[in-house]
């Protein structure tokens, strides 16, 4: 019995080692993704191109422009001469934010019933809109007492990621995204490929048991998943200074649980499709909602209820919660029992579906 | 229905099937096939592509469940007892289905472990099959780089590693040169001499003729069954060979005769099948050709297996009822 299990595992490992493309993907996908997400995707917005029309041109209006500039969020180009000209530059995509300081700025500033300044924002880019809303919070010079000595109403302290670096938020969850991507595809393709090439027809006429076949095929991928986890975390720690606050053992246990869940998802996919191409497509179909709804990109609590329900079914959601907890907050695994239990349920259900659908028959 | 009391194992056939039927949607791939395949014999399935050979073999090894009918293989009811049959069964798929990216040695080692051979027997069997199927020098070569004949030897070696009592071979020689085919058949006879039962499907006449017994399949039905010699002598047709220079006119003239069932050309000869009730078939052909102004010689000859095949499969268009052997 164990002989058959080890025979399958041994065969899978040998085949993997000889399949240069897949082997390259095991290392290449995590590396590419972490560099891509770590460097290119940056939610810290800086230097948005902007222009100002200062029709008031008072000392206060100039102070306001200087304050905005000093925030580093916007970078002012040549000032515009009129509002239509400013709009034209916005239309042309030359600038993303326009600041209009009207002629009656001083009167508006002293009264408090009307906005003193107008921001024109290019709403076609998602990040810019939210940044502009932040800009609108910049205190207006001289509206209340002397703005220089003004104390902000709130002092914001960002815990666990005081510098608010995107990499710190992204890299831990990225472990999950990468595992979700590669594990589902690898397993579904590994099984469908054998069916396509006719190997499975031969295998199922041997005394091998279904579970031996499946376990033997999946186990090497658990190891591969853990290797990928290590790559992402190592690069994350070395290149992006992502903190490792929790216990590594907890981390790897959580990763192993998540890997098992994604592998069985791949297994279910393999029982639903006929060709490797379909396996790829269906794997990607499960990947997209995982990335969008798991809390990897958008905060989970801000999503509409139906999206949250869908997210509950996705294993990535729970893993993102766990790994952020362990890595950033240093939470022990025992504090993460709820997401761990949800992952375990997902694993049990998909495993049951896969075994009930996979029979040693062709029909 | 199967016989109620199973006879002693020695005389029990290797495979017994009654009314074996398999439908795929609205297509009936195998239609009411009865089989009694004796032990320690090579039993052939002869039929064109799509005649149901592969589907039947797949039902015999439990890969497909029959839509209706019953089948017992080595005394096991299929597909219910498929798992118990596995260790006693060797199966060679139509397409090479070992692993291209593993070497010959790795493929054999893997299969021997999957069949749960204990270490000592594994070593001994691996040595035996590599010698028997001349794989010694190929051991470290990847299976994907082997020639058609080498692959087939590897596949047969893998299928016989665990010394099965029954071998199911689905068109094993379709991608193999004639010399390799001959060697392959020598290997099969060597296995039969050791008591192995072999079921082999083919669409080659010469291979079919080597079988101890033969079933001819057409459109999922078993249209003839028996020893090749017997089938040839029992053919429900008479065979005439016509030698002529003007084969075109001769063929047209012969097909005018309602007693002529088929005409096949072999070089300058025409192979003519006539109804079994046609008296003096050679004289009849000769007369018809003379009337058509064709100079020809006509001789009555014995039927070949191809004639049997044509007679069993080819007459449906003229609503001729084919015999069952």
Question: pLDDT digit string (tens) for A68-79?
Answer: 888 777 888 888
Chain B residue numbers touching A202 (CB-CB < 8 A): 91, 93, 97-98
Residues in chain A: 363
Check pLDDT > 50 for residue B320. no
Mean per-residue pLDDT over chain A, rounded: 83
* Spatial separation of the C-alpha atoms in residues A205 and B170, rounded to whole Å: 13
- The band of B216, judged by pLDDT with boundaries at 50, 70 and 90, is very high
* Spatial separation of the C-alpha atoms in residues B210 and B309, rounded to whole Å: 15
Check pLDDT > 90 for residue B168. yes
Share of chain B above pLDDT 70, in %: 93
Q: Residue A49, Cβ neighbours under 10 Å: how many?
A: 16
- Min CA distance, A19 vs chain B (Å)? 8
The number of folded domains in chain A is 2
Name the token pair of B206: 């010469």
Q: What share of chain A is helix, strand, coil (3-state, %, to 5)?
A: 65, 5, 30
pLDDT at A225 (0 to 100): 93
- Inter-residue contact B102 to B158 (CB < 8 Å): no
pLDDT at B115 (0 to 100): 94
* Residues A24 and A85 reside in one and the same domain: no
Check pLDDT > 70 for residue B1. no
Check pLDDT > 70 for residue A293. yes
- The band of B33, judged by pLDDT with boundaries at 50, 70 and 90, is very high
* Residues A220 and A102 reside in one and the same domain: no
Q: For residue A149, how many C-alpha atoms fall within 13 Å in the half-sphere facing its CB? A: 2
* Residues A31 and A88 reside in one and the same domain: no
CATH code of the region B235-318:
3.30.70.100
The per-residue pLDDT for range A4-46, each reduced to its tens digit, is: 999 999 999 999 888 888 888 888 888 888 888 777 666 566 6
Nearest residue of B to residue A6, measured between CA atoms: B113
- CA dihedral sign, ordered B127, B132, B137, B140: negative
Name the token pair of A339: 């997401």
Note the pTM of the prediction, 2 decimals: 0.78
Check pLDDT > 80 for residue A159. no
* Residues A246 and A307 reside in one and the same domain: yes
* Residues A175 and A300 reside in one and the same domain: yes
pLDDT at A106 (0 to 100): 85
- Residue A285 maps to a domain: yes
* Higher pLDDT pick, B19 / A67: B19
Burial letters for B283-302: b for 16+ Cβ neighbours within 10 Å, e otherwise? ebbbebbeeeebebebeeee
Nearest residue of B to residue A195, measured between CA atoms: B97
Q: Strand B260-266 relative to strand B296-301: parallel, antiparallel, unpaired?
A: unpaired
Interface of B with A in 98-157 (CB under 8 A): 98-102, 106, 110-111, 113-116
- Inter-residue contact B236 to B64 (CB < 8 Å): no
Q: B97 and A201: CB-CB below 8 Å?
A: yes
* CATH number of the domain within which A70 lies: 3.40.1710.10
Check pLDDT > 60 for residue A196. yes
Which of A124, A149, A174 delimits the end of a domain? A149
- Residue A264 maps to a domain: yes
pLDDT at A112 (0 to 100): 65
Mean per-residue pLDDT over chain B, rounded: 88
Check pLDDT > 80 for residue A186. yes
Check pLDDT > 60 for residue A152. no
CATH level 3 topology of B40-57+82-226 = Rossmann fold (3.40.50)
Q: Measured between alpha carbons, how far apart are the two ends of chain B, in Å? A: 20
pLDDT at A284 (0 to 100): 87
* Residues A183 and A34 reside in one and the same domain: yes
* Spatial separation of the C-alpha atoms in residues A342 and A311, rounded to whole Å: 12
What's the rounded mean pLDDT across residues B301-322?
68
In A132-243, beta strands by DSSP E: none
Q: ∠A294-A299-A305 over CA atoms, to 5°?
A: 75
Same CATH topology for B40-57+82-226 and B235-318: the answer is no
Check pLDDT > 70 for residue B51. yes
- Which backbone phi and psi does B68 adopt, to 5 degrees? -155, 170
Check pLDDT > 80 for residue A147. no
pLDDT at A164 (0 to 100): 60
Q: Which residue has the tokens 């190592």?
A: A234
Q: For chain B, what are the domain ranges? A: 40-57+82-226, 235-318
Q: A199 and B99: CB-CB below 8 Å?
A: yes
The per-residue pLDDT for range A229-280, each reduced to its tens digit, is: 999 899 888 888 888 888 889 999 999 999 999 999 999 999 888 888 998 8
Q: Which helix (H) or strand (E) holds B31?
A: strand B27-37
Q: Strand B27-37 relative to strand A97-101: parallel, antiparallel, unpaired?
A: unpaired
* Residues A60 and A129 reside in one and the same domain: yes
Burial letters for B104-135: b for 16+ Cβ neighbours within 10 Å, e otherwise? bebbbbbbbbbbbbeeebbeebbeebbeebeb
- The SS3 assignment for B11 reads coil
- B169 and A CB contact within 8 Å: no
Secondary structure letter of residue A344 according to DSSP:
H
* Higher pLDDT pick, B37 / A108: B37
* Higher pLDDT pick, A295 / B55: B55
Interface of B with A in 256-295 (CB under 8 A): none
Chain B residue numbers touching A361 (CB-CB < 8 A): 62-65, 79
Q: Which residue has the tokens 């209006």?
A: A61
Query: Does ipTM top 0.85?
Result: no
pLDDT at A155 (0 to 100): 55
* Residues A123 and A199 reside in one and the same domain: no
Q: Which residue has the tokens 């060797």?
A: B90
- Residue B273 CB partners (closer than 8 Å, separation 6+): B237, B238, B239, B260, B261, B262, B263, B307, B310, B311
Name the token pair of A310: 């869908």
* Spatial separation of the C-alpha atoms in residues A108 and A116, rounded to whole Å: 5
Q: Is the bond preceding residue A155 a cis peptide, omega within 30 degrees?
A: no
- Inter-residue contact A202 to B93 (CB < 8 Å): yes
Q: B63 and A14: CB-CB below 8 Å?
A: no
* Residues A125 and A200 reside in one and the same domain: no
Q: B99 and A11: CB-CB below 8 Å?
A: yes
pLDDT at B151 (0 to 100): 93
* Residues A286 and A223 reside in one and the same domain: yes
- Residue A157 maps to a domain: no
Check pLDDT > 50 for residue B218. yes
Check pLDDT > 80 for residue A132. no
* Residues A342 and A301 reside in one and the same domain: yes
Nearest residue of A to residue B102, measured between CA atoms: A15
Query: How many CB pairs (< 8 A) connect A and B?
Result: 74
* Residues A185 and A143 reside in one and the same domain: no
Check pLDDT > 50 for residue A140. yes
Which domain covers residue A58, as residue numbers?
48-149
């Amino acid at each position: 019995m164990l002989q058959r299990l080890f025979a399958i595992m041994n065969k899978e490992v040998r085949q993997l080692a000889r399949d240069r493309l897949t082997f390259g993907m095991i290392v290449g996908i995590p590396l590419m993704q972490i560099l891509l997400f770590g460097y290119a995707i940056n939610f810290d917005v800086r230097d948005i191109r902007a222009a100002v029309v200062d029709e008031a041109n008072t000392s206060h209006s100039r102070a306001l422009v200087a304050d905005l500039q000093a925030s580093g969020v916007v970078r002012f180009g040549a000032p515009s001469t009129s509002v239509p000209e400013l709009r034209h530059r916005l239309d042309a995509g030359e600038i993303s934010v326009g600041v209009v300081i009207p002629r009656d700025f001083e009167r508006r500033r002293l009264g408090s019933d009307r906005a003193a300044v107008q921001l024109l924002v290019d709403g076609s880019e998602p990040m810019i809109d939210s940044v502009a809303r932040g800009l609108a919070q910049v205190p207006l010079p001289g509206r209340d007492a002397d703005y220089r000595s003004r104390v902000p109403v709130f002092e914001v302290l960002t815990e666990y990621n005081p510098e608010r670096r995107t990499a710190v938020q992204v890299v831990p969850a990225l472990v999950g995204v990468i595992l979700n991507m590669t594990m589902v595809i690898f397993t579904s393709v590994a099984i469908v490929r054998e069916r396509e090439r006719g190997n499975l027809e031969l295998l199922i006429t041997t005394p091998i048991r279904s579970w031996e076949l499946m376990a033997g095929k999946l186990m090497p991928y658990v190891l591969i998943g853990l290797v990928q986890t290590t790559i992402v975390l190592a690069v994350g720690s070395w290149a992006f200074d992502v903190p490792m606050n929790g216990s590594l053992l907890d981390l790897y246990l959580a990763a192993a649980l998540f890997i098992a869940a994604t592998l069985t998802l791949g297994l279910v996919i393999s029982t639903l499709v006929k060709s490797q191409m379909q396996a790829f497509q269906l794997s990607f179909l499960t990947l997209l909602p995982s990335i969008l709804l798991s809390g990897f990109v958008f905060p989970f609590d801000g999503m509409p209820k139906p999206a949250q329900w869908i997210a509950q079914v996705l294993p990535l959601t729970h893993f993102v919660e766990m790994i952020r907890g362990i890595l950033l907050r240093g939470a022990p695994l025992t504090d993460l029992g709820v997401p761990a239990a949800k992952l375990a349920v997902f694993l049990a259900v998909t495993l049951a579906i896969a075994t009930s659908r996979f029979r040693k028959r062709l029909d | 229905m199967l016989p109620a009391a199973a006879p002693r194992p020695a005389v029990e056939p290797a495979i017994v099937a009654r009314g074996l039927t398999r439908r795929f949607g609205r297509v009936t791939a195998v239609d009411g096939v009865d089989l009694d395949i004796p032990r320690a014999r090579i039993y052939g399935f002869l039929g064109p592509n799509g005649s149901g050979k592969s589907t039947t073999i797949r039902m015999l090894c439990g890969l497909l469940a029959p839509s209706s009918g019953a089948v017992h293989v080595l005394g096991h009811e299929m597909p219910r007892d498929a798992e118990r049959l596995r260790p006693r069964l060797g199966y060679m798929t139509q397409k090479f289905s070992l692993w291209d990216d593993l070497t010959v040695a790795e493929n054999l080692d893997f299969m021997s472990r999957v069949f749960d051979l204990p270490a000592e027997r594994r070593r001994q069997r691996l040595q035996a099959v590599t010698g028997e199927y001349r794989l010694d020098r190929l051991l470290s070569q990847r299976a994907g780089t082997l020639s058609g004949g080498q692959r087939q030897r590897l596949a047969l070696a893998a299928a016989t590693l665990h010394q099965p009592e029954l071998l199911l071979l689905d068109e094993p020689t379709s991608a193999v040169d004639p010399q390799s085919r001959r060697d392959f058949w020598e290997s099969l006879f060597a296995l039969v001499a050791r008591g192995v039962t072999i079921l082999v499907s083919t669409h080659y006449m010469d291979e079919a003729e080597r079988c101890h017994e033969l079933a001819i399949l057409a459109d999922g039905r078993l249209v003839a069954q028996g020893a090749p010699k017997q089938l040839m002598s029992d053919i429900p047709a008479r065979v005439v060979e016509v030698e002529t220079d003007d084969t075109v006119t001769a063929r047209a003239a012969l097909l005018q005769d309602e007693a002529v069932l088929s005409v096949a050309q072999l070089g300058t000869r025409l192979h003519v099948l006539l109804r079994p009730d046609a008296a003096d078939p050679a004289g009849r052909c000769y007369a018809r050709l003379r009337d058509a102004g064709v100079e020809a010689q006509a001789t009555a000859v014995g039927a070949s297996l191809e004639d049997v095949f044509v007679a069993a499969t080819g007459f449906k268009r003229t609503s001729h009822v084919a015999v069952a052997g």
